Amino acid sequence: MITLDENNVYLDNSKIGRLIKDGTVFFTHKSYERHLYRLLNSFGLNEDAFIILKFDKFVVKVDEKYLGISSQKIKELMSKYNCIVRHKTERQIMIPLILMDLKADNIEIKEGKSIEQFNEMIEDPRGLYQNWKARKK
Are the CB atoms for 76 and 43 separated by under 8 Å?
no
Stated pTM of the model: 0.92
Task: Quickly state the pLDDT bin for 37 (edges 50, 70, 90).
Answer: confident
Q: What is the mean pLDDT of the chain?
A: 93
The DSSP code sequence of 60-101 is EEETTEEEEEEHHHHHHHHHHB--EEEETTEEEEEEEGGGSE
Rounded CA-CA distance 11/92 in Å is 12
Listed residue (122, 120, 33) closest to 130, CA to CA: 122
The confidence score (pLDDT) of residue 77 equals 98
The confidence score (pLDDT) of residue 109 equals 86
Burial class (CB in 10 A: 0-12, 13-18, 19+), 60: buried
* Domain segments of the chain as ranges: 2-135
